[in-house]
Amino acid sequence: MLALLQRVKEARVEIDGHTVGQIDAGLLILVCAERGDIETQAERLLAKILKLRIFSDDAGKMNRSVQDVNGGLLIVSQFTLAADTSGGNRPSFGNAAPPDEGRRLYDDFVARARAAHPVVQTGQFGADMQVHLVNDGPVTIPLTVR
């Protein structure tokens, strides 16, 4: 599984002009399931995200996790993270999990996040979403769990 984390001061997802998910300070998590991914990868990815020390402590050093700062999680499905651009100018998305498999793994990831963290919001799988954010830092971290 792939994820792109953005430390945010606030973030929201809109669909057709309506907000479907919104957080204050925390992490915007763009997540992608690839072909062959399984639930244990979702579990490991979430564990890494929750413990990743990318929030500032009192000395200004990245030494605190999203759990330490009571930050929110806004989880958005993003199959384009699996883009392969090695064959030219048009990306291929053949490495992304098929929609049914991707939805199952995304839903599993979200369920695990909700069981482990108090503030979890989401986008809508497969929807045309507009994501608004105020990136904090900016801090943007790619993660891959195989």
The string of DSSP letters for 88-106 reads SSS-B-TTBPPHHHHHHHH
Active site residue 67: no
DSSP 8-state code for residue 127: S
Which residue of the set 79, 109, 121, 122 is catalytic?
A: 79
At 60, list the tokens.
């200004």
Catalytic residue from among 80, 124, 130, 140: 80
Angle at 27 between CA 76 and CA 48, to 5 degrees: 90
Extract long-range pairs of 57-65: CB within 8 Å, 24+ residues apart. 62/139
Q: How many residues comprise the chain?
A: 146
Question: 78, 109, 121, 122: which is the annotated catalytic residue?
Answer: 78
Distance CA 52, CA 46 (A): 10
- Tokens linked to 108: 């599993």
Q: Give the catalytic positions in this structure.
A: 78-80
